[in-house]
Amino acid sequence: MPLSAGTRLGPYEILAPIGAGGMGEVYRAKDTKLKREVALKVLPELFAQDPDRMARFQREAHLLASLNHPHIGAIYGFEESGSMRALVMELVEGPTLAERIRSGPIPPGEAFPLAQQIAEALEYAHDRGVIHRDLKPANIKISAQGQAKVLDFGLAKALEGDSVTTSVEDSPTLTQAATRAGVVLGTAAYMSPEQAKGKPVDRRADIWAFGVVLYEMLTGKQLYTGETGADILASVMKDQLSLDRLPSDTPPAVRNLIARCLERDVRRRLSHIGEARIILEDPLSTSPATATSPPPSRPVAWMALSGFLLAALAVLAFVHFRRAPEETRVLKFTLGLPGNAILGSYSPPAVSPDGRRVAFVAAANGGQALWVRDLDSLASRPLPGTDGAFAPFWSPDSRNIAFFALGKLKKVDAGTVIPGPVLSLCDSPGAIPWSGTWSKSDVILFSTGVELFRVPAAGGNASPVTKPDRASGEDALRFPWFLPDGRHFLYTARNTHPEKNEIYVGDLDSKSRRPVVAAISNAVYSPPGYLLFLREGTLMAQRFDAGKLDTIGDPIPIAEQVVNYGVAVDGLFSSSQNGVLVYASGGNGRLQLGFFDRSGKLVSMVGAPGVIQWPTVSADGNSVAIDRLDPQTGLVDIWIHDLKRGTERRLTFNSKDNDSPIWSPDDSHIAFRSTRDGGHSLYQKATSGAAQDELLDKSASPDITVNDWSRDGRYIFETITDPKRRGDVWVLPLFGDRKPFPYLQGEYDEDFPRLSPNGRWLAYHSDETNRYEIYVQGFPNHAGKWQVSTNGGYTPVWSRDGKELFYVAADQKLMALDVKDGAEFEAGVPKPLFQPRIGPDPTGSPWFDVSKDGLFLIPSPVEQASTLMTVVVNWTAGLKK
């Protein structure tokens, strides 16, 4: 029954009807609490009376409510009043795109920016696992400022679920058959063929609909028509695509884009809507075969010229790979990253052995994934299923890419336009893998950050190859690189005595090794016989005899300001087997501490910039502890900042790494992790600095992290990772026999445990749903379990009064949720506070803390991380003879 003006649903007062459809009636309403107008979508009565559907709908609605993007209509909440159920949504003023199209074709100058904004909205949602399923002009609003706003994201799935087995003939998302489970979701004229057949769909269904909508914008006509819904669906599935109606001045790149979106074979269809967004940024400067373009802020003519020059260089490079040139010349050009992405921290770009492709990790919008750039193309393409990717490296045939993600070593076939499935090869022991290498005999050698392991390229159990020589002071072996014989390999040994840092040659068939270069850097062998490594940010090349395993002559500098991370001792560079060099130059991503209020405003800065992590505020709020890298030694120590006096002092003094500090409840001690015992052990030290370090827990695991100290001083919470397991939560009692015991121990990665101030609830993040979310369980008895995040979550931190829980969502927004401190745990809906520039560690977990007065202590980047890669073809021709 339609609602009349003045009717109340909770705090919402109906003002006027907006429209109606299969998904319910929509009304303009006034939020009497927040004094704003909203749109209320009142669900059909039969639907609202179905408990199973309502439960499913509310689960999906929580996910949809987490979408926060300027071109997506926001969902504010869900309201129940008597038998009525309504979704509370952002009220978007202005006509729909369908209404705009009724007045005729949209000129390209207006259509392309709108289409680009629609693509941005889809890209944002797809990156978070949300598919629209009913994209059409009627679901897109155009604001008074000419901005597109996509509505009803994911509501089709929220209302009907995933079961799709039969078809409908009418156009609304849900027809009169909406009470029947298993109807096809989506409007007939915009359905993809697989959707029309009732098959499961993924983001490529949205890409099809996007192509149909873009065609309609430019022509003013629907692409697929018919007298009935069945006729339309038949046209969708059978009619041959014709783009003859497109205006004659439609850029070739846009014609090609529409054709790729409307491929009936999903394997040939455009796989990522981000490619469409890039093309539409500047369609005139993009050739028909490309899927990306330079930034739109530059003049079109200059961009066209730049694109031509880059294409010419790429063609020359490609020709070089086919045959030896008569005259060897050096070609140098840069590769930009997609969108607003930056190179993933600690992940060097990897050029394929044949020199035709570059694999790299790009970080954007709170996540990172693996991308590939063909050097004879202007387009970079993402590889699906590689979320969280880290440290890629190629197979010898340049077809497969191995990489690390979520505690696994994985591989993907990237040798074709359509990549193959992502396959797991083995568990990756240790907290952070530090790169790998793949031999011609299909052996993969990789570093756990401490020692080297091997595994067959087909997968299996990883077995140890070599460990650090502890007696000589070595504490980490990293960055293996196979030499041409497939038996010997380069690797870097970090030593607690900096003058002993060395690059070695190891042997798979024996324990023998020999030093080759004194350096704290990764090393790459590049035919016809050069060793590449870094010294103080300068890339050096030194002649190397791969048969005699020895260097020749002195090293020669070939590139300056190459990005490197001292604590990880890796430089962002790579070389092919035929003279193609790729490296990144620019900022190293140094961080500086700052206090921020709840709106994200900077209140004060703390200390000097540097390679820092793990900030934690004392209980009295007067001091901050941090661990900091010494770039000269490559070692990490604990430092304390006195906020009142504005001074700082070093707390730990030994020739080992000391990191991850946490304060005791009375601020008298700091517990921390140390490598002084050959692995990772827990120590504490008086903050006065007077007493000696005291061992708390000597772990048999190669990796242990200290995370929290209970307010009553009785427990310390740890995360332990060993070669057989991923992250597990352990508890160290500081009374009785002081024997640690496991609290969470299973197949998932559970990390960053934080105990509530009242000592009753333990928050942590876990990947048990295949992405990290925040969970809460009772302590110490495991009473209950709650997932409190809805859009991914890392590093929970309690407010000092225990009434709020903060965390960082997958999109890097700082989130807050209210917590009721009663007999049972009860949490509110997560609310975004602001999006800080948080500096993550290599695993993607961001660090922050909260002071007693509610300020957020965050390490933020003080210099721009690299967004460009330099490619040098025939780099050896540029060496001084």
The predicted structure's pLDDT at residue 571:
81
The amino acid that residue 95 corresponds to is: P
Residue 693 and residue 684: Cα distance in Å, rounded?
Answer: 6
Work out the average pLDDT over 517-542.
Answer: 90
Contacts of residue 198, Cβ cutoff 8 Å, sequence gap at least 6: 164, 165, 166, 167, 182, 184
Q: Each residue of 15-43: pLDDT tens digit?
A: 988 876 556 788 899 988 888 899 888 87
CA distance 853 to 855: 6
The band of 178, judged by pLDDT with boundaries at 50, 70 and 90, is very low
Confidence of residue 179 (pLDDT cuts 50, 70, 90): very low
DSSP collapsed to 3 states, 71-84? CECCEEEEEEECCE
Which pLDDT belongs to residue 835? 80
Residues 6+ apart with CB under 8 A from 832: 68, 809, 813, 814, 815
The string of pLDDT tens digits covering residues 646-695 is 889 999 987 788 889 999 999 999 999 988 776 678 999 999 988 889 99
Closest CA to 709 of 688, 676, 732, 691: 732
Residue 271 three-state SS: coil
Could you tell me which residue, 59 or 161, shows the higher pLDDT? 59
Distance CA 37, CA 197 (A): 40
Apex CA 84: angle with CA 82 and CA 85, to 5°? Answer: 120
What residues are paired with 830 via a beta bridge?
none
pLDDT for res 307: 46
Query: In one letter, which amino acid is 25?
Result: E
String of DSSP letters for 811-874:
TS-EEEEEEEESSSEEE---EEEE-----B-TTS-B--EE-TTSPEEEEEESSPBP-EEEEEET
Running DSSP on this structure, what letter comes out for residue 329?
Answer: -
Q: Where are the alpha helices (DSSP H) in 127-250?
A: 155-160, 193-196, 203-219, 229-238
- Residue 448: name the closest of 460, 436, 461 by CA: 436
What is the pairing mode between strands 523-526 and 530-535?
Answer: antiparallel
Q: Cα separations (Å) of 518 from 502, 506, 566, 786, 858?
A: 4, 15, 15, 52, 36
CB 341, CB 123: distance < 8 Å: no
Tell me which residue of 13, 87, 14 sits closest to 44, measured CA to CA.
Answer: 87
Does 626 or 53 have the greater pLDDT score?
A: 626
Say whether 218 sits in a helix, a strand or coil. Answer: helix
In the predicted structure, residue 568 carries a pLDDT above the cut 70: no
Residue-wise pLDDT for 401-451, tens only, equals: 999 887 789 999 986 656 778 899 988 755 455 689 999 999 999 998 778
This prediction has a pTM of 0.51
Residue indicated by tokens 């045959």: 323
Q: Which amino acid is at 262?
A: L
Farthest-apart Cα atoms in the chain, separation: 89
Residue 34 confidence (pLDDT): 80
Element (H, E) at 743: strand 741-744
Strand order in the sheet with 390-394: 390-394, 400-405, 408-413, 422-427
Angle between helix axes 252-261 and 203-219 (nearest 10 degrees) is 140
Looking at residue 412, its pLDDT comes to: 92
Return the C-alpha torsion angle 422, 423, 425, 428, nearest 10: 40
The phi, psi pair for 847, rounded to 5°, reads: -105, 140
- Report the distance separating Cα 190 and Cα 194, nearest Å: 12
**Contact assessment for residue 878 and residue 530, using Cβ atoms and an 8 Å cutoff:** no
Output the CA angle 453-404-703, nearest 5 degrees: 60
**How far apart are alpha carbons 53 and 180 in whole angstroms?**
11
Residue labelled with tokens 């690059």? 503
**pLDDT attached to residue 646:** 86
Residue 587 β-bridge partners: 865
Residue 114: band (very low, low, confident or very high) from pLDDT cuts 50, 70, 90: very high
Give the distance from CA 788 to its chain's centroid.
20
Q: How many residues does the chain have?
A: 881
The amino acid at 147: Q
pLDDT at 140 (0 to 100): 94
**Residue 59 phi/psi, 5° resolution?**
-65, -45
In a 3-state reduction of DSSP, which class is residue 598? coil
Q: What is the tens place of the pLDDT at every residue in 625-634?
A: 999 877 666 6
Task: Compute the distance between CA of residue 807 and CA of residue 65 in angstroms, rounded to an integer.
Answer: 17
Q: Is 203 helix (H, G, I), strand (E, B) or coil?
A: helix
pLDDT confidence of 272, banded at 50, 70, 90? very high
What is the distance between the alpha carbons of residues 353 and 5, in angstroms, rounded to a whole number?
69
- The Cα 24–Cα 389 span in angstroms is 42
Q: What letter does residue 810 receive in the DSSP assignment? A: T
Bridge-based pairing of strands 342-343 and 331-336 is unpaired
Cα first-last separation, the chain: 87
Instruction: Copy the structure tokens of residue 225.
Output: 């028509």
Name the more confident of 83 and 666.
666
Q: What is the pLDDT of residue 326?
A: 47
What Cα–Cα distance (Å) separates residue 167 from each residue in 22, 139, 161, 170? 15, 21, 15, 9
Lowest mean pLDDT among 5-14, 43-52, 273-282, 757-766: 43-52
Point out the least confidently predicted range of 105-114, 356-365, 705-714, 731-740: 356-365
Q: Could you read off the pLDDT of 200-224 as tens digits, one per residue?
A: 788 999 999 999 999 999 999 999 8
Q: How many helices and strands (H and E) does the chain possess? A: 11, 60
pLDDT score of 161 more than 60: no
Q: Which pLDDT value is given to residue 53? A: 65
In this predicted structure, which of 143-147, 312-316, 396-400 has the lowest mean pLDDT?
A: 312-316
- Computed over every residue of the chain, the mean pLDDT equals 81
Q: Residue 611: pLDDT above 50? A: yes
One-letter-per-residue 3-state SS of 855-873: CEEEEEECCCECCEEEEEE
Query: What is the rounded distance in angstroms from the CA atom of residue 779 to the CA atom of residue 756?
Result: 9
Provide the pLDDT for residue 69.
Answer: 86
Do 850 and 800 meet the contact criterion of CB atoms below 8 Å apart? yes
pLDDT at residue number 841: 46
Does residue 234 sit in helix, strand or coil? helix
Write down the pLDDT at residue 519. Answer: 86
CA–CA separation, 816 and 796 (whole Å)? 10
| Closest residue by Cα to residue 183 from 216, 208, 161, 151 | 161
Please say if the pLDDT value at position 702 is more than 70. Answer: no
Contacts of 437 (CB under 8 A, 6+ apart): 393, 444, 445, 446, 480, 481, 482, 489
* Least confident stretch, 554-558, 578-582, 667-671, 725-729: 725-729
Closest C-alpha to 92, from 47, 49, 28, 155: 28
- CA separation for the pair 156, 166 (Å, rounded): 15
**pLDDT higher for 735 or 81?**
735
CB atoms within 10 A of CB 710: 20
Contact 61, 43 (CB under 8 A): no
Mean pLDDT of 346-354: 88
